[in-house]
Amino acid sequence: MSLGTGIRLADLIAAICFVLALRGLTGPKTARYGNLLGAGGMTLAIAITFATNGLTHFLLIVGAMAIGTVIAVPAARLVKMTAMPQMVAAFNGVGGGAAALIALATFLRAPAGSLAVYEVVEVLLGVVIGCVSFSGSCIAFAKLQEIMTGRPITYPGQQVWNGIVGVAILGLGVTVCVSSFNWLVAIVLVLALAFGVAFVLPVGGADVPVLISLLNSFTGLAVAASGFVLHSVVLVVAGTLVGASGTLLTQMMSRAMGRSLPNILFSAFGSVITATGGAEGDTTRSVRSASAEDVAILLAYANKVIVVPGYGLAVAQAQHTIRELADLLESRGVQVIYAIHPVAGRMPGHMNVLLAEANVPYEQLKEMDEANPEFQSADVALVVGANDVVNPAAKNNPDSPIYGMPILAVDEARNIVFMKRSMRPGFAGIDNELLFDPKTTLLFGDAKDSLTKVVAAIKAL
Protein backbone atom coordinates (compact mmCIF):
# COMPACT_ATOMS: atom_id res chain seq x y z
CA MET A 1 0.00 0.00 0.00
CA SER A 2 1.46 3.33 -1.01
CA LEU A 3 1.59 6.35 1.26
CA GLY A 4 -1.02 8.14 -0.84
CA THR A 5 -3.47 5.26 -0.47
CA GLY A 6 -2.84 5.19 3.28
CA ILE A 7 -3.69 8.88 3.57
CA ARG A 8 -6.86 8.41 1.53
CA LEU A 9 -7.96 5.51 3.71
CA ALA A 10 -7.29 7.53 6.85
CA ASP A 11 -9.34 10.38 5.41
CA LEU A 12 -12.18 7.94 4.76
CA ILE A 13 -12.09 6.74 8.36
CA ALA A 14 -12.07 10.37 9.55
CA ALA A 15 -15.08 11.15 7.35
CA ILE A 16 -16.98 8.18 8.81
CA CYS A 17 -16.10 9.42 12.31
CA PHE A 18 -17.53 12.86 11.48
CA VAL A 19 -20.84 11.44 10.25
CA LEU A 20 -21.18 9.21 13.33
CA ALA A 21 -20.20 12.17 15.54
CA LEU A 22 -23.04 14.24 14.11
CA ARG A 23 -25.47 11.40 14.67
CA GLY A 24 -24.24 10.94 18.23
CA LEU A 25 -24.70 14.64 18.96
CA THR A 26 -28.42 14.40 18.24
CA GLY A 27 -29.20 12.27 21.33
CA PRO A 28 -28.62 13.22 24.98
CA LYS A 29 -27.21 9.82 25.82
CA THR A 30 -24.79 9.55 22.90
CA ALA A 31 -23.83 13.22 22.57
CA ARG A 32 -20.61 13.12 24.52
CA TYR A 33 -19.47 9.94 22.83
CA GLY A 34 -20.27 11.58 19.49
CA ASN A 35 -18.12 14.57 20.27
CA LEU A 36 -15.20 12.37 21.33
CA LEU A 37 -15.56 10.32 18.15
CA GLY A 38 -15.40 13.55 16.14
CA ALA A 39 -12.26 14.57 18.00
CA GLY A 40 -10.77 11.13 17.30
CA GLY A 41 -11.46 11.40 13.58
CA MET A 42 -10.00 14.87 13.59
CA THR A 43 -6.81 13.73 15.32
CA LEU A 44 -6.39 10.99 12.71
CA ALA A 45 -6.97 13.40 9.79
CA ILE A 46 -4.45 15.89 11.20
CA ALA A 47 -1.83 13.29 12.12
CA ILE A 48 -1.91 11.62 8.70
CA THR A 49 -1.47 15.01 7.02
CA PHE A 50 2.09 15.13 8.38
CA ALA A 51 2.82 12.14 6.12
CA THR A 52 1.83 14.05 2.97
CA ASN A 53 4.40 13.77 0.21
CA GLY A 54 6.54 16.91 -0.13
CA LEU A 55 5.38 18.55 3.08
CA THR A 56 8.06 20.75 4.69
CA HIS A 57 8.28 23.44 7.39
CA PHE A 58 7.35 20.91 10.07
CA LEU A 59 8.68 23.12 12.84
CA LEU A 60 6.60 26.06 11.68
CA ILE A 61 3.47 23.90 11.47
CA VAL A 62 3.97 22.44 14.94
CA GLY A 63 4.82 25.88 16.30
CA ALA A 64 1.66 27.44 14.86
CA MET A 65 -0.42 24.55 16.19
CA ALA A 66 1.16 24.97 19.61
CA ILE A 67 0.31 28.69 19.64
CA GLY A 68 -3.29 27.93 18.67
CA THR A 69 -3.62 25.22 21.32
CA VAL A 70 -2.10 27.34 24.06
CA ILE A 71 -4.67 30.06 23.36
CA ALA A 72 -7.67 27.81 22.69
CA VAL A 73 -7.56 25.38 25.63
CA PRO A 74 -7.57 27.93 28.47
CA ALA A 75 -10.10 30.08 26.58
CA ALA A 76 -12.45 27.13 26.16
CA ARG A 77 -11.85 25.73 29.66
CA LEU A 78 -12.15 28.95 31.63
CA VAL A 79 -14.99 30.67 29.80
CA LYS A 80 -18.08 30.98 31.97
CA MET A 81 -21.08 28.88 30.98
CA THR A 82 -22.96 32.11 30.33
CA ALA A 83 -20.36 33.23 27.79
CA MET A 84 -20.43 29.99 25.76
CA PRO A 85 -22.40 31.46 22.83
CA GLN A 86 -19.83 34.13 22.04
CA MET A 87 -17.03 31.60 22.48
CA VAL A 88 -18.63 29.45 19.78
CA ALA A 89 -18.93 32.56 17.59
CA ALA A 90 -15.23 33.30 18.06
CA PHE A 91 -14.08 29.76 17.23
CA ASN A 92 -16.39 29.75 14.23
CA GLY A 93 -15.03 33.06 12.96
CA VAL A 94 -11.39 31.97 13.04
CA GLY A 95 -12.34 28.83 11.13
CA GLY A 96 -13.89 30.96 8.40
CA GLY A 97 -10.81 33.18 8.40
CA ALA A 98 -8.53 30.15 7.98
CA ALA A 99 -10.61 28.88 5.03
CA ALA A 100 -10.39 32.30 3.34
CA LEU A 101 -6.61 32.44 3.87
CA ILE A 102 -6.15 28.97 2.37
CA ALA A 103 -8.07 29.93 -0.77
CA LEU A 104 -6.17 33.21 -1.00
CA ALA A 105 -2.75 31.63 -0.55
CA THR A 106 -3.47 29.02 -3.24
CA PHE A 107 -4.61 31.74 -5.61
CA LEU A 108 -1.51 33.89 -5.06
CA ARG A 109 0.74 30.88 -5.53
CA ALA A 110 -0.50 30.03 -9.01
CA PRO A 111 1.13 31.94 -11.86
CA ALA A 112 -1.27 34.56 -13.24
CA GLY A 113 -3.62 33.11 -15.83
CA SER A 114 -2.70 29.50 -15.11
CA LEU A 115 -5.93 28.70 -13.28
CA ALA A 116 -8.99 27.37 -15.08
CA VAL A 117 -12.20 29.30 -14.61
CA TYR A 118 -13.69 26.72 -12.26
CA GLU A 119 -10.57 26.89 -10.12
CA VAL A 120 -10.91 30.66 -9.82
CA VAL A 121 -14.56 30.17 -8.86
CA GLU A 122 -13.50 27.76 -6.09
CA VAL A 123 -10.99 30.31 -4.78
CA LEU A 124 -13.52 33.13 -4.86
CA LEU A 125 -16.14 31.04 -3.02
CA GLY A 126 -13.61 30.18 -0.33
CA VAL A 127 -12.49 33.79 0.07
CA VAL A 128 -15.98 35.33 0.02
CA ILE A 129 -17.81 32.86 2.27
CA GLY A 130 -14.83 32.62 4.64
CA CYS A 131 -14.56 36.40 4.97
CA VAL A 132 -18.31 36.89 5.50
CA SER A 133 -18.23 34.23 8.21
CA PHE A 134 -15.14 35.76 9.83
CA SER A 135 -16.31 39.38 10.02
CA GLY A 136 -19.90 38.37 10.77
CA SER A 137 -18.76 36.20 13.68
CA CYS A 138 -16.62 39.07 15.01
CA ILE A 139 -19.68 41.34 15.15
CA ALA A 140 -21.82 38.57 16.67
CA PHE A 141 -19.11 38.08 19.30
CA ALA A 142 -19.01 41.83 20.02
CA LYS A 143 -22.79 41.92 20.38
CA LEU A 144 -22.97 39.01 22.81
CA GLN A 145 -19.92 40.14 24.76
CA GLU A 146 -21.60 43.55 25.03
CA ILE A 147 -18.59 45.28 23.52
CA MET A 148 -21.19 46.90 21.30
CA THR A 149 -24.94 47.25 21.71
CA GLY A 150 -26.99 44.07 21.37
CA ARG A 151 -29.77 46.08 19.75
CA PRO A 152 -30.24 45.91 16.01
CA ILE A 153 -28.33 48.62 14.19
CA THR A 154 -30.29 49.98 11.26
CA TYR A 155 -29.90 52.88 8.88
CA PRO A 156 -31.95 54.07 5.93
CA GLY A 157 -31.61 51.97 2.82
CA GLN A 158 -29.79 49.20 4.70
CA GLN A 159 -31.09 46.35 2.56
CA VAL A 160 -30.35 48.34 -0.61
CA TRP A 161 -26.74 48.96 0.45
CA ASN A 162 -26.29 45.30 1.36
CA GLY A 163 -27.74 44.40 -2.01
CA ILE A 164 -25.32 46.73 -3.79
CA VAL A 165 -22.33 45.26 -1.96
CA GLY A 166 -23.56 41.76 -2.81
CA VAL A 167 -23.94 42.60 -6.48
CA ALA A 168 -20.52 44.28 -6.50
CA ILE A 169 -18.92 41.13 -5.08
CA LEU A 170 -20.65 39.04 -7.72
CA GLY A 171 -19.69 41.43 -10.55
CA LEU A 172 -16.05 41.65 -9.49
CA GLY A 173 -15.96 37.89 -9.05
CA VAL A 174 -17.12 37.34 -12.60
CA THR A 175 -14.56 39.89 -13.81
CA VAL A 176 -11.76 38.04 -12.02
CA CYS A 177 -12.87 34.80 -13.65
CA VAL A 178 -12.90 36.08 -17.21
CA SER A 179 -9.96 38.49 -17.02
CA SER A 180 -6.47 38.43 -15.57
CA PHE A 181 -7.04 41.35 -13.18
CA ASN A 182 -6.05 39.28 -10.21
CA TRP A 183 -5.64 42.27 -7.90
CA LEU A 184 -9.43 42.57 -7.98
CA VAL A 185 -9.47 39.65 -5.54
CA ALA A 186 -8.19 42.06 -2.88
CA ILE A 187 -11.24 44.27 -3.42
CA VAL A 188 -13.54 41.25 -3.35
CA LEU A 189 -11.96 40.27 -0.02
CA VAL A 190 -12.54 43.72 1.51
CA LEU A 191 -16.11 43.85 0.21
CA ALA A 192 -16.82 40.38 1.61
CA LEU A 193 -15.56 41.46 5.03
CA ALA A 194 -17.78 44.56 4.84
CA PHE A 195 -20.74 42.42 3.77
CA GLY A 196 -20.30 40.15 6.79
CA VAL A 197 -20.45 43.16 9.10
CA ALA A 198 -23.42 44.73 7.33
CA PHE A 199 -25.26 41.39 7.34
CA VAL A 200 -25.03 41.01 11.12
CA LEU A 201 -25.60 44.63 12.26
CA PRO A 202 -29.42 44.62 11.90
CA VAL A 203 -29.81 41.30 13.72
CA GLY A 204 -30.56 42.02 17.32
CA GLY A 205 -30.54 40.61 20.77
CA ALA A 206 -32.07 37.21 21.18
CA ASP A 207 -31.64 36.35 17.50
CA VAL A 208 -27.85 36.39 17.54
CA PRO A 209 -27.55 32.67 18.47
CA VAL A 210 -29.57 31.69 15.39
CA LEU A 211 -27.28 33.91 13.37
CA ILE A 212 -24.21 32.19 14.82
CA SER A 213 -25.66 28.87 13.72
CA LEU A 214 -26.09 30.26 10.21
CA LEU A 215 -22.52 31.61 10.17
CA ASN A 216 -21.40 28.19 11.39
CA SER A 217 -22.89 26.56 8.31
CA PHE A 218 -21.28 29.30 6.16
CA THR A 219 -17.89 28.37 7.58
CA GLY A 220 -18.66 24.76 6.73
CA LEU A 221 -19.25 25.76 3.11
CA ALA A 222 -16.10 27.91 3.08
CA VAL A 223 -14.13 24.90 4.29
CA ALA A 224 -15.71 22.77 1.56
CA ALA A 225 -14.70 25.41 -1.01
CA SER A 226 -11.13 25.41 0.27
CA GLY A 227 -11.29 21.62 0.02
CA PHE A 228 -12.09 21.99 -3.69
CA VAL A 229 -9.17 24.43 -4.04
CA LEU A 230 -6.74 21.99 -2.42
CA HIS A 231 -8.37 18.84 -3.93
CA SER A 232 -8.80 17.52 -0.40
CA VAL A 233 -11.66 15.05 -0.03
CA VAL A 234 -11.72 15.18 3.76
CA LEU A 235 -12.17 18.96 3.71
CA VAL A 236 -14.99 18.71 1.19
CA VAL A 237 -16.78 15.98 3.16
CA ALA A 238 -16.48 17.61 6.60
CA GLY A 239 -17.18 21.12 5.33
CA THR A 240 -20.26 20.02 3.40
CA LEU A 241 -21.57 17.96 6.32
CA VAL A 242 -21.39 21.05 8.53
CA GLY A 243 -22.80 23.31 5.83
CA ALA A 244 -25.82 21.06 5.32
CA SER A 245 -26.52 20.08 8.92
CA GLY A 246 -25.83 23.65 10.06
CA THR A 247 -28.45 25.00 7.66
CA LEU A 248 -31.01 22.51 8.94
CA LEU A 249 -30.10 23.28 12.55
CA THR A 250 -30.49 27.01 11.89
CA GLN A 251 -34.00 26.37 10.60
CA MET A 252 -34.83 24.25 13.64
CA MET A 253 -33.59 26.97 15.97
CA SER A 254 -35.57 29.73 14.28
CA ARG A 255 -38.67 27.53 14.27
CA ALA A 256 -38.23 26.97 18.02
CA MET A 257 -38.58 30.75 18.32
CA GLY A 258 -41.71 30.69 16.19
CA ARG A 259 -40.15 32.83 13.48
CA SER A 260 -38.83 32.34 10.00
CA LEU A 261 -35.19 32.76 9.12
CA PRO A 262 -35.71 35.70 6.70
CA ASN A 263 -37.73 37.38 9.43
CA ILE A 264 -34.82 37.05 11.84
CA LEU A 265 -32.23 38.24 9.35
CA PHE A 266 -34.05 41.18 7.86
CA SER A 267 -36.74 42.40 10.20
CA ALA A 268 -34.47 44.20 12.67
CA PHE A 269 -36.12 42.54 15.63
CA GLY A 270 -36.55 44.84 18.61
CA SER A 271 -35.89 48.10 16.78
CA VAL A 272 -39.46 49.20 17.39
CA ILE A 273 -39.27 49.25 21.19
CA THR A 274 -39.73 52.97 21.42
CA ALA A 275 -42.55 52.80 18.89
CA THR A 276 -44.60 50.58 21.20
CA GLY A 277 -44.30 53.44 23.67
CA GLY A 278 -43.21 51.73 26.86
CA ALA A 279 -40.79 54.40 28.00
CA GLU A 280 -43.20 56.87 29.57
CA GLY A 281 -45.53 54.08 30.68
CA ASP A 282 -42.89 52.74 33.07
CA THR A 283 -42.83 55.74 35.33
CA THR A 284 -46.53 56.40 35.52
CA ARG A 285 -47.84 52.89 36.05
CA SER A 286 -47.41 51.21 39.38
CA VAL A 287 -45.90 47.83 40.01
CA ARG A 288 -46.09 45.81 43.19
CA SER A 289 -42.74 45.07 44.70
CA ALA A 290 -42.33 42.93 47.77
CA SER A 291 -39.76 41.84 50.31
CA ALA A 292 -38.04 38.48 50.33
CA GLU A 293 -40.15 37.52 53.38
CA ASP A 294 -43.39 38.11 51.47
CA VAL A 295 -42.17 35.94 48.62
CA ALA A 296 -41.03 33.28 51.09
CA ILE A 297 -44.51 33.03 52.60
CA LEU A 298 -46.12 32.90 49.18
CA LEU A 299 -43.86 30.03 48.13
CA ALA A 300 -43.83 28.10 51.38
CA TYR A 301 -47.60 27.79 51.57
CA ALA A 302 -48.15 26.97 47.91
CA ASN A 303 -49.01 23.49 46.66
CA LYS A 304 -47.31 23.83 43.36
CA VAL A 305 -44.55 26.17 42.22
CA ILE A 306 -43.27 26.45 38.67
CA VAL A 307 -39.84 27.98 38.25
CA VAL A 308 -39.19 29.83 35.00
CA PRO A 309 -35.46 30.40 34.68
CA GLY A 310 -33.97 32.92 32.26
CA TYR A 311 -30.75 34.65 31.42
CA GLY A 312 -30.78 36.59 34.71
CA LEU A 313 -30.40 33.27 36.54
CA ALA A 314 -27.43 32.40 34.38
CA VAL A 315 -25.70 35.75 34.83
CA ALA A 316 -26.12 35.64 38.59
CA GLN A 317 -24.85 32.01 38.66
CA ALA A 318 -27.92 31.29 40.76
CA GLN A 319 -28.54 27.74 39.53
CA HIS A 320 -27.32 26.19 42.79
CA THR A 321 -29.37 28.58 44.92
CA ILE A 322 -32.55 27.89 42.97
CA ARG A 323 -31.97 24.18 43.53
CA GLU A 324 -31.52 24.81 47.25
CA LEU A 325 -34.81 26.72 47.28
CA ALA A 326 -36.55 23.93 45.37
CA ASP A 327 -35.22 21.27 47.78
CA LEU A 328 -36.39 23.34 50.73
CA LEU A 329 -39.85 23.74 49.24
CA GLU A 330 -40.08 20.05 48.43
CA SER A 331 -39.17 19.16 52.00
CA ARG A 332 -42.24 21.19 52.96
CA GLY A 333 -44.39 19.20 50.54
CA VAL A 334 -44.51 21.76 47.76
CA GLN A 335 -44.38 20.37 44.25
CA VAL A 336 -41.67 22.14 42.23
CA ILE A 337 -41.10 21.92 38.49
CA TYR A 338 -39.02 23.96 36.09
CA ALA A 339 -40.53 25.26 32.86
CA ILE A 340 -37.84 25.64 30.23
CA HIS A 341 -38.53 27.78 27.22
CA PRO A 342 -36.62 26.52 24.16
CA VAL A 343 -34.73 29.81 23.85
CA ALA A 344 -34.49 30.77 27.52
CA GLY A 345 -31.09 32.23 28.23
CA ARG A 346 -29.23 33.17 25.14
CA MET A 347 -29.11 29.87 23.36
CA PRO A 348 -31.42 26.89 23.02
CA GLY A 349 -30.62 24.42 25.76
CA HIS A 350 -28.74 27.00 27.82
CA MET A 351 -30.98 26.56 30.88
CA ASN A 352 -30.93 22.77 30.78
CA VAL A 353 -27.15 22.85 30.85
CA LEU A 354 -27.01 25.25 33.80
CA LEU A 355 -29.64 23.42 35.84
CA ALA A 356 -28.06 20.06 35.08
CA GLU A 357 -24.82 21.51 36.44
CA ALA A 358 -26.66 22.20 39.71
CA ASN A 359 -27.91 18.56 39.72
CA VAL A 360 -31.54 19.48 39.27
CA PRO A 361 -33.28 16.15 38.57
CA TYR A 362 -33.91 15.64 34.88
CA GLU A 363 -37.58 14.76 35.50
CA GLN A 364 -38.30 18.18 36.99
CA LEU A 365 -37.27 19.99 33.82
CA LYS A 366 -40.31 20.44 31.59
CA GLU A 367 -40.14 21.59 28.00
CA MET A 368 -42.58 24.32 27.00
CA ASP A 369 -45.30 22.09 25.53
CA GLU A 370 -45.27 19.92 28.61
CA ALA A 371 -45.09 22.81 31.06
CA ASN A 372 -47.80 25.09 29.70
CA PRO A 373 -50.83 23.01 30.83
CA GLU A 374 -49.30 22.94 34.34
CA PHE A 375 -49.55 26.69 34.89
CA GLN A 376 -53.34 26.63 35.35
CA SER A 377 -52.96 24.54 38.47
CA ALA A 378 -49.87 26.34 39.76
CA ASP A 379 -50.09 28.55 42.81
CA VAL A 380 -46.94 30.46 42.02
CA ALA A 381 -44.96 30.98 38.85
CA LEU A 382 -41.50 32.05 39.96
CA VAL A 383 -39.83 33.89 37.07
CA VAL A 384 -36.10 34.20 37.75
CA GLY A 385 -34.38 36.57 35.38
CA ALA A 386 -36.57 35.76 32.38
CA ASN A 387 -38.68 38.26 30.52
CA ASP A 388 -39.29 37.92 26.80
CA VAL A 389 -40.15 34.21 27.01
CA VAL A 390 -43.12 34.97 29.30
CA ASN A 391 -44.25 38.20 27.65
CA PRO A 392 -47.96 37.91 26.77
CA ALA A 393 -47.42 40.48 24.03
CA ALA A 394 -46.25 37.53 21.95
CA LYS A 395 -49.83 36.21 22.15
CA ASN A 396 -51.94 39.38 22.32
CA ASN A 397 -50.19 42.19 20.53
CA PRO A 398 -49.84 41.78 16.76
CA ASP A 399 -47.72 44.97 16.68
CA SER A 400 -45.11 43.53 19.02
CA PRO A 401 -41.88 42.42 17.41
CA ILE A 402 -42.08 39.13 19.27
CA TYR A 403 -45.68 38.49 18.20
CA GLY A 404 -46.06 34.83 17.28
CA MET A 405 -43.19 33.55 19.41
CA PRO A 406 -44.46 30.69 21.58
CA ILE A 407 -44.28 31.70 25.24
CA LEU A 408 -44.70 30.07 28.62
CA ALA A 409 -48.23 30.59 29.91
CA VAL A 410 -47.07 32.18 33.15
CA ASP A 411 -50.07 34.52 33.14
CA GLU A 412 -52.33 31.53 33.87
CA ALA A 413 -50.75 30.89 37.27
CA ARG A 414 -52.54 32.16 40.38
CA ASN A 415 -49.60 34.30 41.47
CA ILE A 416 -46.56 35.48 39.58
CA VAL A 417 -43.28 36.40 41.21
CA PHE A 418 -40.69 38.15 39.09
CA MET A 419 -37.11 38.29 40.29
CA LYS A 420 -35.50 41.06 38.27
CA ARG A 421 -32.57 43.36 38.59
CA SER A 422 -34.56 46.38 37.49
CA MET A 423 -37.54 47.44 35.42
CA ARG A 424 -35.37 47.38 32.32
CA PRO A 425 -36.93 45.45 29.46
CA GLY A 426 -35.49 42.09 28.45
CA PHE A 427 -32.86 41.23 25.88
CA ALA A 428 -35.23 41.90 22.99
CA GLY A 429 -35.89 45.36 24.42
CA ILE A 430 -39.66 45.02 24.73
CA ASP A 431 -41.83 46.04 27.67
CA ASN A 432 -43.64 43.29 29.49
CA GLU A 433 -47.29 43.94 30.40
CA LEU A 434 -47.15 41.09 32.87
CA LEU A 435 -45.04 43.20 35.23
CA PHE A 436 -48.03 45.49 35.76
CA ASP A 437 -50.50 42.64 36.30
CA PRO A 438 -52.31 42.82 39.67
CA LYS A 439 -51.32 39.24 40.52
CA THR A 440 -47.65 39.95 39.89
CA THR A 441 -45.17 40.56 42.68
CA LEU A 442 -41.71 41.89 41.95
CA LEU A 443 -38.60 41.22 43.92
CA PHE A 444 -35.83 43.48 42.72
CA GLY A 445 -32.18 42.58 42.96
CA ASP A 446 -29.55 40.16 41.72
CA ALA A 447 -31.19 36.76 41.24
CA LYS A 448 -28.73 34.98 43.51
CA ASP A 449 -29.04 37.52 46.35
CA SER A 450 -32.81 37.47 46.11
CA LEU A 451 -32.97 33.69 46.12
CA THR A 452 -30.55 33.46 49.05
CA LYS A 453 -32.73 35.87 51.03
CA VAL A 454 -35.88 33.91 50.18
CA VAL A 455 -34.22 30.65 51.23
CA ALA A 456 -33.20 32.21 54.56
CA ALA A 457 -36.71 33.59 55.07
CA ILE A 458 -38.34 30.20 54.41
CA LYS A 459 -35.97 28.51 56.86
CA ALA A 460 -36.98 31.09 59.46
CA LEU A 461 -40.71 30.41 59.02
Active site residue ranges: 388
Q: How far is the CB of 247 from another protein (least distance, A)?
A: 8
Spatial CB neighbours of 246, under 8 Å, sequence gap ≥ 6: 213, 214, 216, 217, 218, 220
Spatial CB neighbours of 16, under 8 Å, sequence gap ≥ 6: 41
Using the contact rule CB under 8 A, the part of the chain among 54-62, 153-161, 382-390, 417-425 near another protein is 54-62
Q: How far is the CB of 231 from another protein (least distance, A)?
A: 6
Spatial CB neighbours of 311, under 8 Å, sequence gap ≥ 6: 82, 344, 345, 346, 350, 385, 386, 427
One character per residue 288-327, x = contact with another protein (rule: CB under 8 A): ----------------------------------------
Q: CA 187 to CA 441: how far, in whole Å?
A: 57
- Give the orientation angle of helix 84-109 with respect to helix 58-78, to 10 degrees: 160
Q: Does 143 bind another protein (CB under 8 A)?
A: no
Contact between 370 and 238 under an 8 Å Cβ cutoff? The reply is no
Q: Does 205 bind another protein (CB under 8 A)?
A: no
Helix (DSSP H) and strand (DSSP E) numbers for the chain: 18, 6
Among 2, 5, 58, 274, binds another protein (CB under 8 A): 58
Q: How far is the CB of 147 from another protein (least distance, A)?
A: 19
Q: Does 99 bind another protein (CB under 8 A)?
A: yes
Spatial CB neighbours of 350, under 8 Å, sequence gap ≥ 6: 84, 85, 311, 314, 344
Q: How far is the CB of 274 from another protein (least distance, A)?
A: 31
Q: How far is the CB of 71 from another protein (least distance, A)?
A: 6
Alpha-carbon distances of 258 from 204, 252, 426, rounded to whole Å: 16, 10, 18
Residue 357: strand, helix, or coil: helix
**Secondary structure letter of residue 379 according to DSSP:** S
Among 57, 180, 438, 460, binds another protein (CB under 8 A): 57
- Burial class for 29, CB neighbours closer than 10 Å (0-12, 13-18, 19+): exposed
Q: Does 86 bind another protein (CB under 8 A)?
A: no
Nearest C-alpha neighbor of 83 from the set 308, 387, 345, 357: 345
Among 3, 4, 8, 55, binds another protein (CB under 8 A): 55
* DSSP codes joined into one string, 45-69: HHHHHTT-TT---HHHHHHHHHHHH
Q: Does 347 bind another protein (CB under 8 A)?
A: yes
Choose between 38 and 310: whose C-beta lies nearer to another protein: 38
Using the contact rule CB under 8 A, the part of the chain among 160-168, 251-259, 393-401, 451-459 near another protein is 251-259
Choose between 247 and 321: whose C-beta lies nearer to another protein: 247
Among 3, 8, 9, 50, binds another protein (CB under 8 A): 50
Q: Does 72 bind another protein (CB under 8 A)?
A: yes
Using the contact rule CB under 8 A, the part of the chain among 63-71, 303-311, 377-385, 445-453 near another protein is 63-71
Using the contact rule CB under 8 A, the part of the chain among 91-99, 163-171, 175-183, 189-197 near another protein is 91-99
Q: Does 165 bind another protein (CB under 8 A)?
A: no
One character per residue 258-277, x = contact with another protein (rule: CB under 8 A): --------------------
One character per residue 350-379, x = contact with another protein (rule: CB under 8 A): x-xxx-xx-x-xxx-x-xxxx---------
Residues 385-424 that bind another protein (CB under 8 A): none
Spell out the long-range contacts of 424-428 with Cβ–Cβ below 8 A and sequence spacing 24 or more. Answer: 425/273, 425/278, 425/387, 426/310, 426/386, 426/387, 426/388, 426/391, 427/150, 427/205, 427/206, 427/311, 427/346, 427/387, 427/388, 428/204, 428/205, 428/206, 428/269, 428/270, 428/388, 428/401, 428/402
Choose between 238 and 435: whose C-beta lies nearer to another protein: 238
Using the contact rule CB under 8 A, the part of the chain among 44-52, 297-305, 310-318, 410-418 near another protein is 44-52
Spatial CB neighbours of 149, under 8 Å, sequence gap ≥ 6: 143
Choose between 3 and 456: whose C-beta lies nearer to another protein: 3
Choose between 163 and 361: whose C-beta lies nearer to another protein: 361
Using the contact rule CB under 8 A, the part of the chain among 19-27, 154-162, 169-177, 262-270 near another protein is 19-27
CA angle 346, 84, 235 (to 5 degrees): 115
Choose between 55 and 164: whose C-beta lies nearer to another protein: 55
Q: How far is the CB of 326 from another protein (least distance, A)?
A: 16
> Quick one: the chain helix, strand, coil %, rounded to 5?
65, 5, 30
Among 145, 162, 182, 245, binds another protein (CB under 8 A): 245
Residues 208-237 that bind another protein (CB under 8 A): 209, 212-213, 216-217, 219-220, 222-224, 226-237
Contact between 415 and 284 under an 8 Å Cβ cutoff? The reply is no
